[in-house]
Amino acid sequence: MAITNILLFALGLALLVKGSDYFVKSAASIAKKFGVSEFVIGLTLVALGTSIPELASAVFASIKHAGTLVIGNVSGANIANICLITGTAAAIASIKTREEMLKRDGYIMLLSSVIFLIFILNGTVSRIEGAALLLLYAAYVMFLIEEKPEYIGKYHFREFVDYFFRFRYMITMKSRIMARIRKRREKKNGMTPYEKRNVWELFKAGIAKDLFVMAVGGAAVAYGASLFVNSAIFFAEMLSLPKAVIGVSIVSIGTTLPELSVTISAARKGFGNIALGNVIGSCITNMFLILGVSAAIFPLHSTSQVLFFIAPFLIIASVMLLAFIKSHWEIRRFEGAIFLMAYVAFMIMLFLKSGL
């Protein structure tokens, strides 16, 4: 039985990773055919691509009322992103950092961890709190899309807080939608019937294949998430471990494999700063979007271990990352080694506290 579940666990993870890859590629292709800019595609679909395994497994676990597994997965994935993935990238080659990584995205990432800790103080992330997290994610995406000359190099954390509480993201969303509608109308009206027919033929030529690949990728993600979560719950019960611990360890490491592979590849090619941006963006996505969606489906119940050990460690790791970003505006190899040692120490303490 255990061997069967190990195989199902591995199969579920493989389907999650490869299914999300095909899903994102086909979705990006469809978006291009609808005239969506590459910037918006990169900001949304590509950025979400490496987080789809966490999202799919979290949603499925939430449907099965395994809230502690969701919380463990999300918090564990963020700790793995900061300590394991950033540590690995920096250990391969020093990562150059920028001011925006600290003063905008870095502080927002830290804010998401602090909000997470506040929300689990009563032991539950409610549906209302989940909705608040989703609102924060929508505001963050709109905040990144917003471009004004007077804010170049100044659109930082303080401006984000002001942007959120003044509901300015609603204005951004409305203006972008209206601008897109106007642009498409102007483009359509300026075309001859022959040009319109050619565009439609080109559209039809590739859309069927993209939709098919997207459907297959989505089905693979859904089925993989089912196998993955069911196997994780089986191991938690077999080993008499809390679901949160399984989520922090086995599930989070499995779902962060896409980020890890991308990071190693980017670091080897000298693009460590891109990998770091992906890590910070994934942490924000995990806390705001994935936790928000899961809590909106069904309230998530936490444990004392998450409250008093895992969440505080996540905040400490976040502060360490911000400090390393600012030190000489690069994350050096020895700082990467510190992250890796911190991750090993965290995992050892996690299992010791669980009685293993």
Residue range 308-323: mean pLDDT, rounded: 94
Of 134, 106, 157, residue with least CA distance to 317: 106
The tokens for 60 are: 């499925």
29 Cβ neighbours under 8 A, 6+ residues apart: 206, 210
The torsion angles phi and psi of 303, rounded to 5 degrees, stand at: -130, 165
Torsion of CA 155, 157, 158, 162, to 10 degrees: 80
**Predicted confidence (pLDDT) per residue in 114-170, tens digit:** 999 999 999 999 999 999 999 999 888 888 776 554 445 556 777 777 777 777 777
Residue linked to tokens 């102007």: 186
Cβ 291 vs Cβ 74: under 8 Å: yes
**How many distinct helices (H) and strands (E) make up the chain?**
20, 4
Residue range 88-107: mean pLDDT, rounded: 81
State what percent of residues in the chain have pLDDT above 90.
23
* Number of independent structural domains in the chain: 1
12 Cβ neighbours under 8 A, 6+ residues apart: 223, 224, 225, 226, 227, 228, 229, 230, 231
Residue range 269-283: mean pLDDT, rounded: 74
> Considering the entire predicted model, what is its pTM?
0.76
Query: To 5 degrees, how large is the angle CA 289–CA 292–CA 296?
Result: 140
**Predicted confidence (pLDDT) per residue in 185-241, tens digit:** 666 565 555 555 555 555 555 677 777 777 787 777 667 766 766 776 676 667 676
Task: Give the domain extent around 201.
Answer: 2-353
Instruction: Please report how many Cα atoms fall inside a 13 Å half-sphere around the Cα of residue 6, on the Cβ side.
Output: 3
Distance between CA 264 and CA 256 in Å, rounded? Answer: 12
pLDDT of residue 291 exceeding 90, the answer is yes
The pLDDT assigned to 313 comes to: 96
Residue range 275-281: mean pLDDT, rounded: 78
Cβ 302 vs Cβ 60: under 8 Å: no
Containing 300, the helix (H) or strand (E) segment is: strand 300-301
Rg of the chain over all Cα atoms, to the nearest angstrom: 21
Distance between CA 181 and CA 192 in Å, rounded? Answer: 19
**Predicted confidence (pLDDT) per residue in 49-61, tens digit:** 666 777 777 887 8
Label each residue of 32-80 as H, E or C: HHCCCCHHHHHHHHHHHHCCHHHHHHHHHHHHCCCHHHHHHHHHHHHHH
Tell me the average pLDDT of the chain.
Answer: 77
The pLDDT assigned to 67 comes to: 80
Cβ 288 vs Cβ 136: under 8 Å: yes
The tokens for 142 are: 């709109």
Residue 185 burial (10 A CB sphere; 0-12, 13-18, 19+): exposed
**Per mean pLDDT, which of 38-52, 113-127, 253-267 is the most reliable?**
113-127
The gap from C-alpha 246 to its chain's centroid, in whole angstroms, comes to 19
Better pLDDT: 37 or 39: 37
Q: What three-state secondary structure class fits 212? A: helix
Distance between CA 180 and CA 120 in Å, rounded? Answer: 40
Distance between CA 159 and CA 174 in Å, rounded? Answer: 20
> Residue 300 belongs to a domain with what CATH number?
1.20.1420.30
**Per mean pLDDT, which of 167-171, 180-184, 271-275, 278-282 is the most reliable?**
278-282
